Chain A
Amino acid sequence: MRYENIKTVVLSCLILISLILTWTLWTYTPTYDKMENNPSYVDDVKIGKTKMLEDHIQPSLILAHFASTHKGLLNKDMDTWTNEMKKWSISDVVRISNTSFERPEDFYDFVHGNQTMEILYPTEMSLSTFQSMYEVKGTMPSGTFDRIILKPGQADNVSQSVRIYFVNYETEEIYEANIKGFNEAAWEKHYKDIQSNGQDYIAFKREDKSVLFLPEQPTPLQQKSYKQEMISSDKFRNALFDNMKIVEENELSGQTVYNDSKRMLELSKTKPLMAYTNYEDATQSDQSVVTDKEGAIKRSFDFVNAHAGWTDPYYLTEWNSDASYQSVTFQLHEDYYPVFNDDDLSKVTLKSSGQNISEYKRPTFQLGKLSDEYGKKIKLPSGKAVIKEIEGKENFDDSKLKNIIVGYELQTEKDFTNVITLKPYWFYKYDGIWYKIVDKAEQGGDKDGLE
């Protein structure tokens, strides 16, 4: 019986020890200064929603090339395609030599030839940016691309797998890879789908044989009106400064300025725009600091995400890299059509030097409720007419013409309040600047420059 008593005591002890251990394990914290004890600490500010990078880098055009014709996916079907891409798994990305092209046009045949699907992005970006969005196994080579080419496997290929290439059209770099989650049957389905449901595209061939594609007759688009919802300036102030005690507020002519010893936030009083500058990062970046160029897009995206600043569908449209700084632009899109505005009311632009964001400019409103009034559908001129108009430009040089697309222009009321109107137009990028094409019948032929 005594033996049993000892067992009872041992068991009780063990239970007690397990309870103590569990308790300490739960409550164990090292002796750090707790954030909660710091009165100047501000809770994370959320302006909109936290988003994923792949939702903000979208193709600008998806083409299916046939023997003598080209068809493009309609914007309303773009969602299906981007969901398809999320299933992909890429591996073994390697650069392939492009010396196999004997004539310069062979490269363009490779990109735009029969039995090819071409996914175009609005700007070139690093391959590592693609890896930040989609599953890529192994290391990505350091290189850039602005389009993806998908071709069916060769007839003698037993595995029947699709061949995928990342291509930089300007530099003619080509990277080959393996793809899983997108077999030949899927390729065939999408290719056929674009053939039967897509719209016709015409090719504008430049002198150097490179090609620009634009819709032969764009789908008529509806003019839309949104209620303009202002985002409180307090939200931006709280998100961008970390110690409110040392933030100064000053009313200057035309703007409200918040600043501490390093950062400045300027909010325009006349236009719904803000500009934030971090001078610590702007002034102290010297050449000796290795700037992480490839990470600039992800870094910029994450910066806005940190205060959940992705209020509307802003998609990547520009990435400029310089020795000392990187500039990344996300532009407002409506149904995958880019939205343009003279006052930069449709752009979120970030500059970074070194590892940090030194400049952040954006509109301070978001699109609210869509107006119930049914906007009129606007039929735009044909692609051929647009080419003719652009070619009629004085001293026209086709190598300076980078893009011709259909988009919306964001129009505000005179006092920048209440209503935002999106009106469809043709736009083209010439010598680095976007221009709007105004229908002669509508505006009596005057041409508005859009910078």
Chain B
Amino acid sequence: MDWNKTKTIFIVIFFILDLFLARQFMVKREANQLEMISERTGEELLQEANITFKESPSSNQKAGYIKAYVHTFTEKETSSLKDQKIEVQEDGKEIHGEFTKPTSLPTSDEKNKLEDFVKKNMINGDQYKLVQVDKEGGQITFAQLYSQKPVYDNTKTFITIQLNEKNEMVSYKQRMLEQFEQRTEAETVKTPVNAVTELYDSNKVNQGSKVRMDLGYYAYFPPATDSQILAPTWRVTVDKDKGEVEVYYVTALD
């Protein structure tokens, strides 16, 4: 057999093979790039749907799962409270307080003044943050903080202040969690864009909505025990018609 001729044939064969392999490689790379692109379009999708963020939420926040226990209020704690009548309920897990003198709602700088009021008048009040002032419903809601992030909508920790018809603060209820433990290492949470895209995909956020994003801790149900696991969760407040708002929770870690 003529080696020179064989070489020529081999050159042709390998050339064709290389072309084929190169093409395969391109196809594979393109397919992967397409996936990357489809991930990026979350932002474009929200732009198209005209969904805007009320305050630009900070990306790249870190959080992990935590565990906490229900706090039982002691007599030492309750006796330190002044100018209020205290009633201890549920074996010390909840306290009901009634102010001897009703206090009017602040007219300016509401958030700071209310948080200040809680700090001065309630047990560990500095650990609570204002969540909602509902004058129609006659109630102000506060959430307990863990490493600066609130524990939202939890039946085992809250402060609610009740208002009378004159919008004066007359009484309150409090529950508290303690012994917070970090259960998983803090990791970068889902971006606000991705969290809202999820809600948009399931038709919970309409086009043209204004949304507010807050990162906190949340449990979807109250376990029967005195301990509970809380997950880093986005609290998404969506403005609806007539000044109403709708609140959704989106898991911040997958």
Contact = CB atoms under 8 A, between A and B. Distances in A.
Interface in B6-58: 7-8, 10-11, 14-15, 17-18, 21-22, 24-25, 28-29, 32, 35-36
B230 A261 contact: yes
B231 interface: yes
B65 interface: yes
Nearest to B202: A289
A277 to B, nearest CB: 8
Interface residues of A, number: 39
Contacts of A400: none
Contacts of A262: 219-221, 231, 251
A385 interface: no
Contacts of B65: 243, 245-246, 260-261
B184 interface: yes
- The number of chain B residues touching the other chain, given as a range, is 35 or more
A257 B224 contact: yes
Interface in A6-20: 7-8, 10-11, 14-15, 17-18
Contacts of A7: 4, 7-8, 11
A283 interface: yes
Contacts of B107: none
Contacts of B17: 14, 18
A155 interface: no
Nearest to A24: B25
A371 to B, nearest CB: 40
A25 B23 CA distance: 10
Interface string B134-173: 0000000000000000000000000000000000000000
Given A245-B183, A246-B183, A286-B204, A18 B224 contact: no
A258 B24 CA distance: 48
Contact of B21 (A21, A259, A260, A354): A21
Contacts of B18: 14, 17-18, 21
Contacts of B74: none
A261 B28 contact: no
A245 B184 contact: yes
A382 interface: no
A290 interface: yes
User: Most chain-A Cβ atoms within 10 A of its Cβ — which of B220, B221, B248?
Assistant: B220
Which secondary structure characterizes the binding site on chain B? mixed
A260 B248 CA distance: 19
A127 interface: no
Contacts of B248: 284
A279 interface: yes
A17 B229 CA distance: 55
B223 A8 contact: no
Contacts of B15: 14
A250 interface: yes
Nearest to B24: A25
A277 B220 CA distance: 11
Contacts of A259: 221, 223, 229
B84 interface: no
A260 B228 CA distance: 8
Nearest to B28: A28
Interface in B202-232: 202-204, 218-221, 223-225, 227-231
B249 interface: yes
Nearest to B225: A250
A247 B223 CA distance: 12
A21 B248 CA distance: 49
Contact of B221 (A250, A279, A288): A279
B224 A22 contact: no
B209 to A, nearest CB: 13
Contacts of A40: 184
B90 to A, nearest CB: 18
Nearest to B206: A288
B67 interface: yes
A39 B249 CA distance: 26
Contacts of B224: 250, 252, 257
A44 B42 CA distance: 30
A392 interface: no
A323 to B, nearest CB: 15
Nearest to B31: A30
A264 interface: yes
7 contacts: A7-B11, A14-B15, A260-B229, A261-B218, A262-B220, A262-B221, A288-B204
Interface of A: 4, 7-8, 10-11, 14-15, 17-18, 21-22, 24-25, 28, 30, 40, 243, 245-248, 250, 252, 257, 259-262, 264, 277, 279-280, 283-284, 286, 288-290, 354
Given A40-B184, A248-B228, A286-B204, 17 more contacts: A8-B7, A28-B25, A28-B28, A243-B184, A246-B184, A246-B231, A248-B229, A250-B227, A257-B223, A257-B224, A259-B229, A260-B65, A261-B229, A262-B219, A280-B251, A283-B220, A283-B221
Closest 7 CB pairs of A and B: A279-B220, A14-B14, A21-B21, A261-B231, A279-B221, A30-B32, A246-B65
